[in-house]
Amino acid sequence: MLSLEIDKRVKGDPKRIWEILTDIEYFAEAAPNIIRIEHISGAGVGMIRRVHHNSGCSWEEICKDWKTESHFKMQVNSDDYPLPVTNMSRIIIMEKMKNSWAIKIRYEYTPKYGPFGLILDKYQLRPILKIFAIQLIDNFAKKIYQQNTTSTVTAESMLRSKDSTVYSITPNTSIYDACELLAEKRIGCVMVLDQDSNIEGILSERDIVRAMATGGDSVMNKPSSDFMTRNVITSKPGDSLEIIMSCMSKHHFRHLPVVNEDEELLGVISIGDVVNTRMNELENESNVMQQYIEGRKWREVAMQIGHGAASKEIN
């Protein structure tokens, strides 16, 4: 039995990625030249579905292996399959990587016609399967990217993706003690809260530098309330990334507290959080462009291969 595997890296919620990979209706949209797919019976192992191809062929597939958010294997009824094979399985896999997910499409198959089938596989069958798999996995990746971008990045989602710890001091905390906390936690600002956890102000590295520039070392023993920024500008959980960036740019600060409707402090977004989020967006946009270019390249290859007994798969 021969095998062919194509893979691509994606980012996103694993539950949503799995839903896209196992969505029968979307598979019909994503797979080249597939018209529709009927769900015949079952779910998971034992599920049966019928696939309709634009060549007029249709065939049944049965699920032989299923592990949620990991992989599933469809055994193809090769009698009606439009490629010259005696055995065919399609395995779709998602695998956790360091900062992303790898989605894979693996074909395991046996060509017809004995030794002649190996020649057919090298020059026609395998290239066509590869083109089909690449187009399918590119469409999966595009759908996953679209799901990520349609879920608009908000202050709330940014807080969920980072350490939620908020470091704070009281108005009476000395500048010296505030500096120790900034150095120990390697942070650029601390919130100044009263005894009821209400926001009194925010103390940043810039506030401390300005204080020392005017008062020298003597400011180190003075309370933070003497130098903190009192009129604290805040963000709401539903504010978009664009609103957050605009606010930081307009007011020239690098930390933005997020509060709920009751003015309770939920967290603090830093300029570093904004930069990381935007870089992820740009990376996703770059991946989509790369997928578009690759898709054009493989479509041109398919046209050069021409039509033959095995080319019904991509027409």
Q: Tens digit of pLDDT for each residue in 26-74? A: 899 899 889 999 999 999 999 999 999 988 889 999 999 999 999 999 9
Q: Map tokens 């710890």 to a residue.
A: 165
Q: Where are the domains of the chain?
A: 2-151, 155-278
Residue 236 pLDDT > 90: yes
Task: Tell the CATH topology of 2-151.
Answer: Alpha-D-Glucose-1,6-Bisphosphate; Chain A, domain 4 (3.30.530)
The mean pLDDT value of the chain amounts to: 86
Q: Which amino acid is at 25?
A: E
The predicted structure's pLDDT at residue 175: 95
Partners of residue 269 on adjacent β-strands: 256
Own/partner pairs, 187-195, CB within 8 angstroms, 24+ separation: 188/254, 188/255, 188/270, 189/254, 189/255, 189/268, 191/166, 191/167, 191/257, 191/265, 191/268, 192/168, 192/224, 192/225, 192/228, 193/168, 193/169, 193/265, 194/170, 195/170
Q: What's the token pair of residue 140? A: 């999966």
* pTM of the predicted model over 0.85: no
Segment 84-111 mean pLDDT:
93
The predicted structure's pLDDT at residue 279: 79
The predicted structure's pLDDT at residue 290: 64
Residue 312 pLDDT > 80: no
Q: Map tokens 């933005």 to a residue.
A: 256
Among 96-110, 254-268, 286-300, name the one with the lowest average pLDDT: 286-300
Residue 309 pLDDT > 50: no
For the chain, state the CA radius of gyration.
28
CA dist., res. 196 & res. 70, Å (int): 47
Segment 117-136 mean pLDDT:
90
CA dist., res. 109 & res. 130, Å (int): 13
Residue 103 pLDDT > 90: yes
Q: What string of DSSP letters covers 161-222?
A: TS-----EE-TTSBHHHHHHHHHHHT-SEEEEE-TTS-EEEEEEHHHHHHHHHHHGGGGGGS
CA dist., res. 42 & res. 63, Å (int): 9
Contact status, residue 250 vs residue 204, Cβ threshold 8 Å: no
Q: Which residues contact 290 (CB under 8 A, 6 or more apart)?
A: none
Segment 185-192 mean pLDDT:
93
The predicted structure's pLDDT at residue 48: 96
The predicted structure's pLDDT at residue 289: 60
Segment 178-194 mean pLDDT:
94
Per-residue confidence band for 276, with pLDDT thresholds at 50, 70 and 90: confident
Question: How many degrees, rounded to 5, is the angle at CA 222 between CA 218 and CA 224?
Answer: 130
CA dist., res. 111 & res. 247, Å (int): 62
Pairing relationship of beta strands 48-53 and 34-41 according to DSSP bridges: antiparallel
- Stated as kind and residue range, the H or E segment containing 25 is helix 24-30
Task: Tell the CATH topology of 155-278.
Answer: CBS-domain (3.10.580)
The predicted structure's pLDDT at residue 68: 95
Question: DSSP code of 124?
Answer: I
